[in-house]
Every structure is written in structure tokens, then in C-alpha cells.
Structure 1
Amino acid sequence: MGRLLLVRHGQASFGADDYDALSELGGEQARVLGKSFAERGLRPDLVLCGSLRRHQGTVGGILDGLGGPAVPVHTDPGWDEFDFQHVVEVHRPAYRDRAYLAAELAGSEQPGRAFQEIFEAATGRWCSGEFDTEYAESFPGFRQRIAGALERAGELLRQHRDIVAVSSGGPIALAVATLTAGRDADPATLATVWAALNRVAVNTGVTKLVSGRRGLWMSTYNEHTHLESDPRLLTYR
């Protein structure tokens, strides 16, 4: 019985010119997770990761914390996050001016919450199915991409017992929504489950999928006990 551990990347550089780079805290979160794996005797046979810098930086931190012999790493862009900046900008074209968005958030008493409200409104429009042609990648397209990444990972589990896949909150939440709601779930139900799961995703949270005779099924979602000894390490964006 193989295990696929889906790991959300460490904290990215929210508000910086290059969001895709891990923050200093994000690198620490990744190293703490790797050390936690080592303490539990968990050494993956293979590491998968998306092509984004925050994914690759998280892999580096995990392997640093894990120590020991090298673990092979394979990049699969299927695990990349959807382009949330594009989704936000289609929702409100004024946000194409990053300075305008930054100024609006800076004027809020709680910038993080203000951005979350913008994000949820934008992704709600994206998921609705009413405006698919306006997006470079529609929500159905995203759904198909993640289904492909899951299928490829499932095939690899026939050769490896434990695989770690470093991705983002969106793909991990959609993978779990697909497995729990069912591959034939109607789009509205799937989008609702996905949004609820994505909202609570923790940086370096670990979701365990188990491979059995009937395929992949979810065992745990967003586990993050490796962060709980230091509240400073617990972040959502």
C-alpha cells in the first residue's frame, strides 16, 4: 500500500515584488517538516514538485531537514498552482495595476483579510462556469490538469512505497475535493468543497493519500503538528 504525501509549499513572499520566492519563514517551515519526517523515520522514495520557485525552494528545505542519502526529485508542472493573480485581475481589471491593489490593501485595517475577501470573490467567479472563456485556464481546465497529476502520481506509487509531492493549496484542495466528492461530482459541488478546503490550507501542511486496490483515497488532510510547538511557524499565506 503506497502513500502519497501532498505538501503545501512554505510561506511565499506575499506583498513582495516576487511572490514566488519563499520567505525566510517559509524556508524554516520546510526544514522543520523535513526534520519531522526524519524523526518519524519517514524517508520518501521519490519527491515530486511543481515547477514554481516556491515549490522547489520547499523541496530544498525539506531535504535539508531530512538529511541522509539523496532522494530523487522529479518536476511535474501538473502540480502548479492556478494563476490566482490572473483570476483576480479578470475579476477586477483595475488590479492589473499592482500599485493600486497594494494601496487598497494598505488602506485596510486587516490587509490579509481584505485580500482573502478579494480572492474568494474572484475565485467564486472563476468557478461559476459562466465566464470560462475569459480565463487562460478555466476551472474545468484546472480540474483536468490536477486529475492528470493525480493519475501520474498513482502510477508512480506502483513502483515506490512513499512519495512526497510539493504543490500549492489550490491543487491539493482540488485533489482532495475530487477524491471525496467523487470524480463525477457536479461542478458546483466540487467548487464548493474545493473552496472550503483551500481556505484552511496551512503552509507545509501535509495531506496523506493512500493507494489501494480501488485507487487513491484520502487518509488525512492538512496535518501540521510539526508546526504546533512554535505558533510563529503557523501561516496560511
Structure 2
Amino acid sequence: MPYEPPTHTVERSLRATTGAKTVAGVDEVGRGAWAGPVTVCAAVTGLRRPPDGLTDSKLISPKRRTELASVLEGWVTSHALGHSSPEEIDALGMTAALRLAAVRALEALPVRPDAVILDGKHDYLGPPWHVRTVIKGDQSCIAVAAASVIAKVRRDAMMAELEAGSDECAGFGFAANAGYPSPVHQAALAERGPTAHHRVSWAYLDALPQWRHLKKTRPSAEAVALESGGQLGFDF
């Protein structure tokens, strides 16, 4: 099925209405995985014509996605990645962990963006960032699409390296499933229990009686906000 190529329309709008000179596209990967970090990429592209075939990473074959990511990393003006670990996800909840990863990515850019295009309908960044949320921004906005592809390829590679380099993770299929609940992953989890790279505050452990005792209870949003000086006031 053909898709409309992404454009700079939102970026041009932000430049015109806010005076932003540097606009970053932001997208995440790994939100629904049971293992591994959640990864956020921030990409600045300017207003140049993108490489052919750029769109949401989920709509591109793995081979082409890897090839395109290599091209994009040299094509973008700048990009950076931020990660939140499974431990941080368990401690903070996904919304706050996403914000943490996104801030890490944005602050790693060589120039602080004047505005951010965030994929989706929920602004998990908040002040002081000037955010424009765009539903399906990874299909419609060039900078967000670039961030989507880079984030997906880089996180997939991290998960493959995790499986290859750790006896603990061998057999969980991370090279193929990237920590998402594939049949191979679920079977290994039922047999061997969660590794140090699993999110152990998640509900999947409720269905595994022999490992249920390992489940951690996540603190409330109010407790997290209090411990962090009120900086993480998000709904979990």
C-alpha cells in the first residue's frame, strides 16, 4: 500500500508562528517491549529533501530500514539518542521514563532546539520544551520519520547485542523480537523467569505464578513527583 511521503509542513509552521530556528523531530521505540530500554531519538533535519523512501520505521522492511538509517545518520543536521533503563521504567512508570529518555536525547544535541515535534497525541515532555504533538508524525513529518528509523535500528541492534553477549539473555530471541513478547520470548520467560533486562513491574508477571514473587510495585505518581522535587508530575 503506498503512503504519502513525509513533509516539512509542521516544521515550516513552527518556524513561521514561533520564530523557531532549530526544530527537532522526536520519536520513541520500545514502549511496549517487556525487556530492554525505551529509546528516544531526537533528529534535526533543516528543510532539505530527505532520502527516498523515508517514512515511519514500522512501514519499512528490516533490511531497507537498516540501510536507510545508515544514510540518515549522515544526512541529518544532527541527532542524538536517549534511553531509560528497565530499572528506571519500573521505578518511574512509562510516561516519566519516556520524558527522561527524550530529555537525554534533546540535551545531547549540539544545539538546543527551539521547538520539538513529538510523535503522537500526548505531550510527555512538557515545559520548558515548546512541543507540537502530531498524530502519526512518524509518517507525516520528515524529522520525526528520521528519528523513528534511527531509533528503531539502533535499539534493535542493542537488543541483538544483548542476546549475543549474555548467557542470561541467550534463548529469549531478542535479536528477532527486540524484547517484545514473541512466542519464543514468552516461552523462555515462563521457563527461566525474567532477566536483569526485563521490566519487572509489568502485568505479564501476574500470569507466571512461579515468577510472580519477583514483581515490583511501582510507586505512585505522587511519590515519584515528591522524590524528584515535583519535576515528574505525570500520569502513569
Tell me whether the two structures share a fold, i.e. TM-score over 0.5. no
TM-score normalised by structure 2 residue count: 0.26
